[in-house]
Structure formats: C-alpha cells, structure tokens
Structure 1
C-alpha cells in the first residue's frame, strides 16, 4: 500500500488474531478461474484471469469486487505480480506484489512474493479486517455489499493518518489526494465508466481529530453517517432471473468481444439477468458482462455491469447544466456592461435555462479593477452549475497636462516651473500633485531651457510634455526722449512725445518716471532723467535717459548729444 510521506503496515490488524493468514481459501479462487488456464510460476496471468481472481476473492469475502479491483489498481496500476524478468514486484517502501502488502506476522513472505493468488487473498483479508474495526465510521443501515460503506476500510488499508483525512483541517475543503478518495475515483472510472457518481459523506472538520504534523492516527469523532444521496449496491451478486434496470443508454451486445450488431436501449430499461457474468479480454475493461434479455424477450445479449443497477431509484439525472459565454473579459472604464449578455445555460434534460441564471457580484465600470462574478443555474433535478468569471475594467487613456506651454521670461526674474501647470485624468481626477518635472532653469543666464513634465495615473498610463523656457535680456526701448530746444516762456511737458515699449510687456509709457525739472522762464540747459520705477519688477533693468542743461550766453539753440539716449533742453529767448 502506497502512501505519501510514510509506509503504513497493511497487516496491523492481524495482531488482533482475526485471520491468522488461513481464512482465505486459495483453491476456491483458483478453481473459479481455472477455465482461463493454469497459473504459471513467476508469470503474470492474462488480464482476464486476474480480473477473475480479484472478482472471486472479493465475492468470497463479501466485499464489492468494484472496491477490491480499484484498490488493486491504486496499488498496482498494471495488475502485475512479477516484472519482465519474472521477479516479484517489490516497491521501494516494501510493498509486495499485486496488492502491495508489507510482510507481517501471520503471512508467508515468500508466498506473498511468488504466489499471486496468495497475495490477492491476503490483501482481501486485510481489507475485510478493516471493515470489522469498530473505531472506523459506517453508514447507518448499510451492509457489506454497499460500495460507499467501504470508504473508511479502504482508507485504513493505506493508513488512518492525517495525510488521508477526508477534509483539510485548516479550511474544510475535500482532500482529493487522500488514498480512499483516489480509490473511489477509480471505482467511478473503471467500474462505472464515469456514468455513475457515488454518494458523498456529509463530512465536517469536527468529525476528525488529529495533528497534521503528527504521525499519530486520526481519531474519528463521528462513527455513523446518514447519506442523503442514494448509495450503490455492488452488481456482482445478480443471479439468473433477477430484474435490473439500465442507468443510462446502454448497448446490448450479441457477443462480449465486439459491439458489432449491438442494440442500444434507453435509461431505465428493464432487463432480466439470464446467467452468470463473464469477462472481457481488454485490459481497459475492469468490469464484467451479464447475459440479459428484455422482458418481452425481443432483445437478448450481453450488457456491461457499468450500466445496470437493481435500484431504479438511483437512476436519476446527475448531469449538471452547462453555462457558456462566461470567459473572462476586459472592458474600458466608463463603458456599458451587462453581465448576462452572451451568457447561456443549457441542460441535457431541461433544455435552455438561460433565463434562470443567477449572477452574484457587481462590476463598477467607473472604477479600474478586477471584479469576480459568479453565475449559478440549477436544473429541475437539483443539479447546480457554478462558474466564476473575471471582469477587468481597464483604463488606457493618458492624463492631460495643461499650462505647460513654451514661455519667455525676463532675465533675473523669479520662476516656478509648476505655477499654473495642472494634470487631470479621466479615472483618477486631479493629478497635479503627481506631476514630476525634470530639467532646470537658470533665470540669471540668458538662453533656452528644456523642462520635461511627466505624470502617471493609477493604471500606469504616462503623459509627458516638453516645455521650452527662454530667458530674455532685451531692454525696454524709450522713444521720443531726444534733446530739445524750447522757446523762452513756452509750455513744456517732459512726457510729451515720449513713449516706452518692451518686447515682453508691450507699452510701458505710463510707467515712465521723470526726474528733474525745466524752467522755461529761465534760460539755461536742464537735465531730465527718464526711468522705470522699481515697483514694476525688482529684477527689471531700468533705462536712464539723461538730459543735461548747459547755460548759454548767446541767444542760440545749442544741442549737444552725449549718448544715444541723452536729451538736451535749451531754452532761448527766441521764439
């Protein structure tokens, strides 16, 4: 018997003196299968003969052969006692032969290795002994021929260790890797051809007491179960004259070895057993064939034991509806989404069940994320299908950066690269605070500087803007402040005809400040100074237009230009 992590002694129960290795009648099995030939030393019999040996050993011990053959498959998938060299198969953990038994007192080591019939008989005795244990649970009202009632004896055959607990203690989920679960899966597969599902126990974690990290056996707190699903009797005790029904559509073969000329009958078709079962030669067939006929005797032949039962009540609709159209889907943010669009449900008995699909969960199309929807539908027989679907709301729209246009600023002025710059995203809203600026601007040095503005939204969409900042050192230009001679006693306005213009600020005439005065009642030369007041901008260059006055003795107009921007005002008594 193979078990993860450790080897469990299969014959522990023999210490109780239940069998002592002699209860099994080897000759009975051998005689029952003698028609298939004499068993040769160190040779594996044909598959058909091994099927016969396992079946009859199980029947003699009143164990469902379905169970024994599934255990043999789990222990030794090829149903072999010897390898290609005629040597007994012994596993790394000490398992011997077809039934993978370990050597314990009461059994002959050599016979376990070299005698397949003895090996099968020993394995069947061990399994039967497990059924007799009083510390293992049973099904209320069920007997030895009920397949489901062997769940815990099969478990014990491998070991009642935590690794074989039916449930994971930490989360209550089924332990599908437990030894007995794998054996019962073999029964459904090889004895029922996946046409019939065995009843499930209503397990709770409180039913089992154990420490997952310990090698101590499980203590079973609940020793009796009532199953809500119908149980299944073994089909190997049918006799001629018994009435059975088909559990699904089945072929009535004219000959066991071929489907040629077979007649198909529907589910729940009544048949009468007309003789003993027989075996098929194919290694894939681990069931048997019964000779049958319809009640009106119109159809006669052989039917696989996988498709018949003595309990019509267990023939029911076990097929779940099929839900389609629930593949995962990605949709853009702010789009329209109907969770039932394109989703359908169909049942083999009830037909279209789309209108009764229930959907649990919601999708917020205004918010990026992954949402889970659960689709559930049930047919009239109570078979329920559930499908989980993932809907991803995505955002591929990049944020928008505003206010980061190219700009020219004055030399030595102040500059904050984030002033009036903002970022907005369709999903995240205002992302201004997330803007990152790379590059620098030196306002004390004329030139053009490149700044890179980057912002990333929560969906990793990146917006990038490149901005040019130009530092301009061009001075404002004062016009009309030329040197001038005015008449004695005339009217003179120092700002008349004088204007100022800046390449960035435009007309600045109103900001000109004039320092100095001109007395037209007194001849002489006066100096006027034209400036831009400091309150305009402390970093602005102001421009000085100086007017120098030189008093003249002669009555004449005298103009002397000291620089391009010097203005001389000469007052004479000549009009």
Structure 2
C-alpha cells in the first residue's frame, strides 16, 4: 500500500508540473496587444446616398501580431445629429485573438435636408362627408426613406361639416433626431360644386428659395363626371406663391365647362 501511495503522489506532482508548464506557455503565447485604427482625415464628408464602403474611406487598422487588418474594420454605429447633418461614426476591429479596438470620427452628410411632408391627395374635402386630413399626410427623409409613421398631429381646426378654409399642423422626425413642424392649409368645399376632376401630377411641391415656379406645369389631366378629358388650358388658377420668401403657400385651380365646375389646391413649400 505504501508503494501505491508513493506512485499516486508522484503522478499528482507530475500533473501539477504539467499544468503549471502549460499555463506558463499559454500566458507567454497569448496576444495581449490591441489593434489600432487610424484615419487620414478628422472629418468624413459623404452624401446621404452612402454605403458602408463610403463610411470606411480613409481608415486603416494594424495589429502587432496580425499586421494590416484594415479589411476587418466594421461600422459599429452612427450617432444622432450633433448639428444638422453632422453625426459621429463608431468603428470596431478585432484581431485573430479577439482583441478589439474602437475608433470614432465625425461624419458630415453634405446634401442633407430635413424631413419633408408628402401628400397622397390634395387636402380638399366636401362638406358633410367627413374626412381625415392626417390620413393623407406622409413624410420622407433623405436618410431614413419613408418616415410616415413619425407624423404626429400637433393641431387642427378643421370642421369637415362646414365649407371653409382651415389648417392642420403636424410634426415629422427621423432617427437622427431632426424634426420639422409644418402647418398645411385644408379646404372644405361644397359637394355639388365638384362635377369636374382636376388631377395634379404632385399634391405638394418643395421649392428652393428663389426658384422659378410655373403652376400650369402641375396640371396632369382634367376630366368631367363621365370620364371625358377636357382641355387643361381652360383651367384657371390663383397663386400666392412667393419663392423669394420661405413659407407655406398654395395654388387654387378652377375650371368651368358646360355648366360644370371643379376645384383643387396645390400646396407649395419654399425652403431656405
């Protein structure tokens, strides 16, 4: 029995030695260095129609053990705006031993503009038939695309039972923290007064300050109650649009033909 105990003790000591040796070897071979990311510019300027490759422009990554690992750099995320059109991008890179490094730099979207309202139908309703102006209002953004689900009603004085000129105010936003409040004109007209349909090729138009504007160019087609096409040249219009001053404007279109009448409105927003 004494001999067996001696053998067990010997194997136990050998086991401890092997474990200690392997631990030392593992520690010596372990990569304790971290990769580094560098940029050839402090600020990256790109368009809103960017790709991940665009976001990686000018970056390099180096690891003491693995060498050049620039191709392994990943885009970690883009922050909300610090100022309009300016964010911070976070990058990350891993070496072969899973050591990681993050890096941040500023990015400017050179062609950024705030979210804009869209209309699926002119904000024109017939008295007594109800309606919901908000259901016609959508929104789009150059970075997020369709942001119609962000449209929220701020205020409305519309009475869909009474003929009159009203307004509705909405707020729209994007995921970068930018938001816009817009007040749009709404019209409730006599139902019997609409026997001719004036269809526009756009229901809302955004113009840059100082841009030219031709109301006639937005008339798509005109049809009577039987579907017969009428001449667009017979449509009359009244416009309060002043492209030299930013604001919300509109054009009223009317046509009178063979005892029939039609009315619609184009909303125009002049931006700075």
Q: Per chain length, whose mean CA-contact separation is higher, i.e. which structure has more relative contact order (CA < 8 Å, sep 6+)?
A: 2
For this structure pair, what is the TM-score category when the shorter chain's length is used for normalisation? 0.3 to 0.5
Answer 1 or 2: which has greater strand percent.
Answer: 2
TM-score (norm 2): 0.41
TM-score (norm 1): 0.23
- Higher-Rg structure is 1
